Structure formats: structure tokens, C-alpha cells
Amino acid sequence: MLMTRGQKIFNWINIAALGVLGLTMVLPIIHIIAQSFSSSVAINAGDVSFWPVDFTLGNYKIILKDTTIWTGFRNSVILTVGGTLINLAMTSTLAYALSRPEYLYRKAVLLMIMFTLIFSAPLIPNYLLVKQLGLLNTLWALMLPMAISAFNLFVMRSFFLNLPNELLDSAKIDGAGEFRTMWSIVLPLSKPAMATMSIMYAVAHWNRYAEAVYYISNRHWIPLQVRLREIVFTDNFGQSDVSSELLMFLSPEGIKMAVIVVATLPIMLVYPFLQKHFIQGMMVGAVKS
């Protein structure tokens, strides 16, 4: 199909606008990476733009020899993996139940879930609930209270509503129960939606900060984002066995940038592998046939 002159101009304008928008998102990341590999002299002089000046790995040596960074990294990995698995299990089972027309009171449950999407519980009741459950100073306090996101639940339910009823009915005719039907048929067909939920939940858990400050005072269990905040705002780089000469050559800004790179790198590496499923899941689960 040939495009008219107006359509071609519109496409070029779209490409240019989206390209500029993309650069505004990518260039700050490149600048941060460049500063993380630059010396203090270059950073303080403002010579670093989008390429490292006086290349050095000293900033990364500082943070990688800080044991609190590794402790926070370990806690964030446990929180992200464990929390995401809990989220997927809870969200998929509830979304499947709410997508089946034969289940009673599903509309009432949907209304209650919609209420939580509009009005969230205040901080103090949440804190008292977590305290009474004995979850304070544990990673469970960052996983169990956020087991289901109302928004993600509606996306998953919309995806399940698009599955053919004939396929599910045939499974029941063959003698499959609800759990067998869901495990053997529904979930394998829902890989795009599951990938979408995985990346959304994983990013939320990896960036978990406020809840960690509220519920965790034991530094042995603080996630990486809390430690990152301490470094960025207080210049508290912890204990390191690097030489004083190296510390003099480095800049606090360069160390902060290196910490930001280390904190965001895992999610940046995982997302490309799920991007195709992520986009497909958002497109399919966004409408109801």
C-alpha cells in the first residue's frame, strides 16, 4: 500500500519526535556510565559528557569491596526472585478464578479489588498489621503485603478472558480439574502475560525502598536501594581496604554513579530477554474480546 505525501511526512515527524524522546532517556544513562569510569579531576572540572575521561576502575573497586553493597545486593536478589514468584502465583490464581463466569460472587470481589486500586490503606495501619504478623525486620514484610497488585490483576484477568472457553471446557470433559486445567493449559498459553507480570513485579521489588525503610531497621536485611540512597545522599561509602592514594584520586560523584550503574544493571540485562513477551502481553491483555 502506497503512502500519501502527508502520511510520509507524518511518519518522519513521528520518527524524529520519538528519536529525540529516546535520546532524552538514553543520554543521562550514558552520562552516568561515563562518570562512573572517570577520575575525580575530570568530574570536578566538568569535562565528562558521554565518554569517560581519565579512565579508571577505582570507583567500582570502592563499591565492590564494600561488604554492605553485597549484603544489599543479596537481599534485593532474594526479594526480587521470591517476591516475584509469590506475586505470579497469587495474581494468576485469583485472576483465573475471577475470569471464570461460573464462580459466585466474582463481581463483588472485583469491586473490592477496584476499591483498593483507588483508595490505598494508610501507612500506620499497614505498619501495625506487619508488626502483629511478626514480619518486621524480615524480607517477608516486603513480599507478602504486596503479594497482589490490583492493576496487574486486571491485566492478567483480561488476558484469561481472551482464552477460548471451548479449550477449557474440553479439558474438563477429559477429566481435568481446575488446578490441572490452569497448570497444563491456561499457564502455558499465558506466557506473554506471565512475562509482563514478571518484569513489572520484578522491577517493583528491585526498586523497593519506602517499605524497606518503614519495616526493616536491621541493617543485615536492608535491600540495595536503601544502601544506594545512603551513598547518594550521605557520602557514606562504608569500609573499604583500598589505598588512600586511590581514594584521593576518586570523586564521591564518580562513586555514586558507579553504585547507580551496579544497582540498575541487573534489570537492564534481564529486560531485553522479556521485551518481546512484555509488549505482546500488554497488547493482548489490554482489551477484552
> Can you tell me the distance from the alpha carbon of 92 to that of 74, in angstroms, rounded to the nearest whole number?
27
Angle value at C-alpha 167, between 166 and 173, nearest 5 degrees? 85
Looking at the chain, how many residues does it have? 289
Domain definitions of the chain by residue range: 66-284
**Tens-level pLDDT at each residue, the chain (289 residues):** 567 878 888 889 999 999 999 888 888 888 888 888 887 777 777 777 888 887 878 778 877 777 888 888 899 999 999 999 999 999 988 888 888 887 888 888 888 888 888 887 788 888 898 899 888 999 999 898 888 888 888 888 888 888 777 777 787 787 777 778 878 888 888 887 888 888 888 888 988 888 888 899 888 898 888 888 777 676 565 554 444 445 555 667 777 788 888 888 887 777 777 666 666 555 554 444 4
Q: How far is CA 246 from CA 49, 112, 228, in A?
A: 23, 58, 21
Type of residue found at 236:
N
For 176-213, b/e burial (b = at least 16 CB within 10 A) is: bebeebbeebbeeebebbbbbbbbbbbebbbbbeebbe
Q: Is the pTM of this model over 0.85?
A: no
What local confidence, expressed as pLDDT, does residue 288 receive? 46
- DSSP-derived secondary structure for 146-210: TS--HHHHHHHHHHHHTS-HHHHHHHHHTT--HHHHIIIIIHHHTHHHHHHHHHHHHHHHHT--H
Calculate the CA 99 to chain-centre distance.
26
Sign of the Cα torsion 232, 145, 284, 195 reads positive
Cβ–Cβ < 8 Å for 186, 170:
no
CATH architecture of 66-284: Orthogonal Bundle (1.10)
Q: What is the sign of the dihedral through the CA atoms of 153, 158, 160 and 161?
A: positive
DSSP character at residue 2: P
Per-residue pLDDT tens for 218-258?
888 988 888 887 776 765 655 544 444 455 556 677 777 88
Q: Closest by alpha carbon to 250, among 50, 67, 44?
A: 44
Distance, CA of 53 to CA of 66 (rounded, Å): 24
> Of the candidates 153, 154, 182, 187, which has an alpha carbon nearest to the alpha carbon of residue 168?
182
- What is the Cα–Cα distance from 152 to 253, expressed in whole angstroms? 37
CA angle, 150 then 152 then 155, to 5°: 110
CA neighbours closer than 13 Å in the CB half-sphere of residue 23:
7
